[in-house]
Chain A
Amino acid sequence: MAKPAVIVVGADKGGVGKTTVARTLLDYFSANNVQTRAFDTESPRGTLKRFHSDITEIVDMTATADQMKIFDTLNAVSPSVTVIDARAGLLSPALASLRDIGFLDAAKTGQITFAVFHILGPSIASLEEIAETANFMGGAKYFLVKNFINNTSFFEWDQATYNSYFRRIKDATELTIPKLNEMAYEQVEVASVPFLKFVANKGPQDQAANYSFVLRGYVRHWLANVWSEYDRIKLTDIVGSTKASAARSDDK
């Protein structure tokens, strides 16, 4: 049996696209036949839950009962991958909690696969989170996600600033999430369905929908680019899935 994998998607800053990235991860695992469950920490109303209601539970990560619900069940439940969408401001406290309950040590000794997708915003403050988060990353796979939803440049024009942040953690891997056409993004929001269902022109209950072909095309193209980033980092291998991306059933 594959060892359990936990992926935390987070940032200490709001509005940087954490939930969007979490949604693309759930779609990616779904397309690769990797059984996944998700926890949305935007208690009491979760955005992730709205899009992936069948596999998402809303939890309060600061509450012990909910921490138990997530981490005490890692070996007990069938999905091998757990995705946690950490709400704004909760990434550092969540990592501290994970250290305190011994989860990070378990990851360090290889009992659990642990990955953090740290979504970066356009400000220096957002970049400064990297240093704070770095202290917890001993046993984790750390991904710095540049989300271009705001056409941000991430200070790439200023190499000194860029290096001072992005080179701070030796084993961090950079990921790039390209920008999605605004109207396409909004239409998916309105539809409240996973990106995959939107592309397939399906409603929340798999019923036939009537989304714009143009917008579906933009989403399909964008999702393919995002997934190629996940393929590049061999995400299915990281989470220990034996079903490689060749099993993907979509028609990108």
Chain B
Amino acid sequence: MPNTPVYIICSPRPQAGKTLFARLLSEFLVLKNGAVVAFDINLKEPSLLDYLPEITETAEIENTFGKMQLMDRLIIDDGIAKVIDLGFHAFDEFFKMTEEIGFLKEAARRNVAPVILYMPGPDRVSARGHDMLRRQIPPSKLIVIDNEFVVRGEMPAGLAQGRMLSLAALPTFLKTYIDRPNFSFTDYLRQEKDSSTELHEWIRSNYLGFRELDQNLTLQGS
């Protein structure tokens, strides 16, 4: 039986591209599966809720009640993929909590497959965050996202070990274009007749990467 995937997009720093990545991934999952539930844990940054209000719920993990509301949903094997846009301010608390409550172990028991999509920058905070995750998360469940918007060059050596996914940089005018709240990646693919445009190729290339990632995750349990 296929797993229920849970994608946790995170970074200990702001402006790492988490929300952009969460938007892309959520739209891909809607296109592929017809449904996805996204959770926005951003109180201080541009928010997924602004872009995908129909599929996004807000969540907070600053108190136990909020943690219960979020985590008790994530642990359900309902076949619907979950995407979490984890704000930088919640990074430490989230992983402290998941380690304490044994989230990964319980997820494995329940046929739920979490994967951590870590979006670092070239800074020391990102390196420390990665070290913390590596101590806690098995290598097969930790993927570093090389966001060229942010890393701007070669990924620092410590971060380049293990699984990686790339998010290519777009020219500034296209970045501004996709940052509009009413922009949809899937709608763009459907409506833009010219499939050779840079944005078309960029979206398709990312969707292709997601397809492989999603297949690996969901088939782990079958």
* Residues from 202 to 227 in A contacting B, C-beta threshold 8 Å: 212-218, 220-221
Q: How far apart sit A181 and B101, CA to CA, in the bound complex (Å)?
A: 11
Do A212 and B72 have beta carbons less than 8 Å apart? yes
- CB neighbours (8 Å) of B37 from chain A are none
- CB neighbours (8 Å) of A181 from chain B are 64
Residue of A nearest to B67 (CB): A214
Q: How far apart sit A218 and B64, CA to CA, in the bound complex (Å)?
A: 10
Residue of A nearest to B97 (CB): A214
- CB neighbours (8 Å) of A212 from chain B are 68, 72
Do B65 and A220 have beta carbons less than 8 Å apart? no
> Chain B contact residues: over half helix, strand or loop, or mixed?
helix
Residue of A nearest to B107 (CB): A213
Do B68 and A217 have beta carbons less than 8 Å apart? no
**CB of B52 within 8 Å of the partner chain:** no
Residue of B nearest to A221 (CB): B100
Residue of A nearest to B73 (CB): A213
Query: How many residue pairs bridge A and B at CB < 8 Å?
Result: 37
**CB of A63 within 8 Å of the partner chain:** no
Residue of B nearest to A181 (CB): B64
Do B100 and A218 have beta carbons less than 8 Å apart? yes
> Chain A contact residues: over half helix, strand or loop, or mixed?
helix
Q: How far apart sit A217 and B97, CA to CA, in the bound complex (Å)?
A: 9
Minimum distance in angstroms from A151 CB to a CB of chain B: 16
Size of interface on A: residues with Cβ below 8 Å to B: 13
- CB neighbours (8 Å) of B103 from chain A are 217
- CB neighbours (8 Å) of B75 from chain A are 213
**CB of B71 within 8 Å of the partner chain:** yes
Do A213 and B101 have beta carbons less than 8 Å apart? yes
Q: How far apart sit A215 and B97, CA to CA, in the bound complex (Å)?
A: 11
- CB neighbours (8 Å) of B101 from chain A are 213-214, 216-218, 220-221
Q: How far apart sit A183 and B65, CA to CA, in the bound complex (Å)?
A: 8
**CB of A54 within 8 Å of the partner chain:** no
Do A217 and B106 have beta carbons less than 8 Å apart? yes
Digitize B64-85: 1 where CB-to-A-CB distance is under 8 Å, 0 elsewhere.
Answer: 1101100110010000000000
Q: Which of A182, A183, A217 has the most CB of B within 10 A?
A: A217
Do A214 and B72 have beta carbons less than 8 Å apart? yes
- CB neighbours (8 Å) of A214 from chain B are 64, 67-68, 71-72, 97, 101
Q: Which of B64, B103, B106 has the most CB of A within 10 A?
A: B64
Do A217 and B100 have beta carbons less than 8 Å apart? yes
**CB of B102 within 8 Å of the partner chain:** yes
Contact of B64 among A183, A216, A220 (CB under 8 A): A183
Q: How far apart sit A183 and B72, CA to CA, in the bound complex (Å)?
A: 14
Q: Which of B72, B75, B101 has the most CB of A within 10 A?
A: B101
Residue of B nearest to A211 (CB): B72
Q: How far apart sit A215 and B72, CA to CA, in the bound complex (Å)?
A: 9
- CB neighbours (8 Å) of B72 from chain A are 212-214
Digitize A121-163: 1 where CB-to-B-CB distance is under 8 Å, 0 elsewhere.
Answer: 0000000000000000000000000000000000000000000
Digitize B96-112: 1 where CB-to-A-CB distance is under 8 Å, 0 elsewhere.
Answer: 01001111001000000
Residue of B nearest to A183 (CB): B64
Q: How far apart sit A181 and B68, CA to CA, in the bound complex (Å)?
A: 12
Do B64 and A213 have beta carbons less than 8 Å apart? no
Q: Which of A184, A212, A213 has the most CB of B within 10 A?
A: A213
Shortest 7 CB-CB distances between A and B: which pairs? A217-B101, A183-B64, A214-B68, A214-B71, A212-B68, A221-B100, A213-B75
Known: A183-B65, A212-B68, A213-B106. 5 other contacts (CB 8 A): A214-B68, A214-B97, A215-B64, A217-B103, A221-B101
Binding site for A on B (CB under 8 A): 64-65, 67-68, 71-72, 75, 97, 100-103, 106
11 residue pairs A–B, Cβ–Cβ below 8 Å: A182-B64, A183-B68, A212-B68, A213-B106, A214-B71, A214-B97, A214-B101, A217-B71, A217-B100, A221-B101, A221-B102
